[in-house]
Amino acid sequence: MFLRVFIPRYNLVESSKVETSRGTLVQHKPYYVYQIEVSIYGTYSRLDKRYSQFLSLHQELRHSYRTPEFPPKKLRNTSHKVLEQRRSGLENYIQYFVRMNPVPQVLLNFLDVPREKLTSTLPDEKPSHQQVAGFLKDPFLIPSSGDRLPDIVSEATMEFFYQES
């Protein structure tokens, strides 16, 4: 599978005033977003998601799949340790589903990954390796024959040390 997903960090989004369609200003409380890094066939993208979006994903996935433990909504506090535990839990949760074959479509939608990207390869993609040597049979399992090549290293060593001068 060429899909890799990590959640390396979280960021605090400060409070802001947003104008609604009615023209009134609404004050938003500060909240945390989790930065998700997605790599498909070497193409890299990054997106931010709030915990509530992860929770919605969890609710959709648990209808069709057996899900691992999901980090709790309530936080004791917003210390680095607590937020890091939540980040790690969310990353483990996402990676559990990324390892599935096929990856659930709900998760691909959440990550903004079209399924076609997973099933297709890059048009000019070539293998990263080339066959060096090939054998019809394993040469180490073939019984030794009488016409073996001489051991030139041993012969040269013996000649060097025991040569008559």
pLDDT in tens, 145-156: 555 666 778 788
Considering only residues 19 and 56, tell me which one the structure prediction assigns the higher pLDDT.
56
What pLDDT sits at residue 108?
Answer: 92
**Count of domains forming the chain:** 1
Give the pLDDT mean for 48-58: 94
Is residue 131, in this structure, part of any structural domain at all? Answer: no
CATH number of the domain encompassing residue 84: 3.30.1520.10
Please report the sign of the dihedral spanned by the C-alpha atoms of residue 19, residue 22, residue 26, residue 31: negative
Is residue 111, in this structure, part of any structural domain at all? Answer: yes
pLDDT at 18 over 90: no
11 is in which domain, residue-wise?
A: 3-119
pLDDT at 3 over 70: yes
Is residue 98, in this structure, part of any structural domain at all? Answer: yes
Is residue 94, in this structure, part of any structural domain at all? Answer: yes
Is residue 19, in this structure, part of any structural domain at all? Answer: yes
What pLDDT sits at residue 2?
Answer: 78
36 burial (CB, 10 Å; 0-12 / 13-18 / 19+) is buried
Task: Tell me the C-alpha distance between 155 and 149, whole Å.
Answer: 12
